[in-house]
Amino acid sequence: MCTPKSFEQTPASDAAVSPGTAPDLDLVLASQSPARASVLNASGIRFRTIVSGVDEDAALAAAEAERGDPLSPEQTALVLARAKAEAVAALPETRGSFVLGCDSVFEFEGEPYGKPHEPDVAFSRIRRMSGSTGILHTGHWLVDRSETEQAGHESSGAGRIRSAEVTFDVMSDEEITAYVATGEPLEVAGSFTIEGYGAAFIAGIRGESHTVLGLSVNALKDLLEERGRHIAELWRPNT
């Protein structure tokens, strides 16, 4: 794992919580994804960001070696989400906080599609996906460094997988070339987004839309409830 790369704090003006909720619940997002930050901001969630810098290939290789079998797309998403959360949770500046790691993997015809990085890879994948349906899996891992650790116990974690079907419109080679040229699909799971240029080619989504954006707020709510906390403790005031 690499040393976490950056540290950001949401504005202090957003630090208040709803009446009757605990004022000290702190959420750290272990991701540099603008889409995930946008989901939390749009949902009224207070959080700060610390990028994990995890070596994803090493984390996956270690997980496969431990299991003795290749990882499924769902397992891949959860392994990477856990690796990111645990890397950031190991930092002293997250003591007393909840740390959320997320990762997304697109499954198409049984194959996992991560970030293509290269234009020719993105073009080939999108051409295959044109007019078809795939599944976007998003893994969530929440590490609790709050009350449990303060009581002298080790931090604990739990995970959730959320999945949604994505159907693509039929795309011409010219459209695919133009989309790849924007650079948008190169660093996102599955070589597409639904909040940018790629929105023009999404014919339908079956499932929770936030899952396709890389972070399910409903999953976060469930994970917090397992620790006896409530999502409302993270809400910004409605001003």
d(CA 160, CA 169): 29
User: What pLDDT score was predicted for residue 189?
Assistant: 86
Nearest in space to 161 (alpha carbons), one of 134, 139, 141, 189: 139
Considering the domain boundaries, does residue 200 fall inside one?
Answer: yes
What pTM value is reported for the model? 0.84
Considering the domain boundaries, does residue 239 fall inside one?
Answer: no
Torsion angle defined by CA atoms of residues 181, 186, 187 and 191, in that order, rounded to the nearest 10 degrees:
110
Active-site residue list: 103
pLDDT for residue 155 is more than 80: no
Q: What is the pLDDT of residues 40-87, one digit of tens each?
A: 999 999 999 999 988 888 988 998 888 888 899 999 999 999 999 999
| Number of domains the chain is built from | 1
> By residue range, what is the domain housing residue 216?
6-234
Considering the domain boundaries, does residue 1 fall inside one?
Answer: no
- Single-letter code of the amino acid located at 68: G
Considering the domain boundaries, does residue 163 fall inside one?
Answer: yes
Considering the domain boundaries, does residue 157 fall inside one?
Answer: yes
CATH number of residue 71's parent domain:
3.90.950.10
Q: What is the pLDDT of residues 76-117, one digit of tens each?
A: 999 999 999 999 999 999 999 999 999 999 999 988 888 899
pLDDT for residue 18 is more than 70: no
User: What pLDDT score was predicted for residue 154?
Assistant: 54
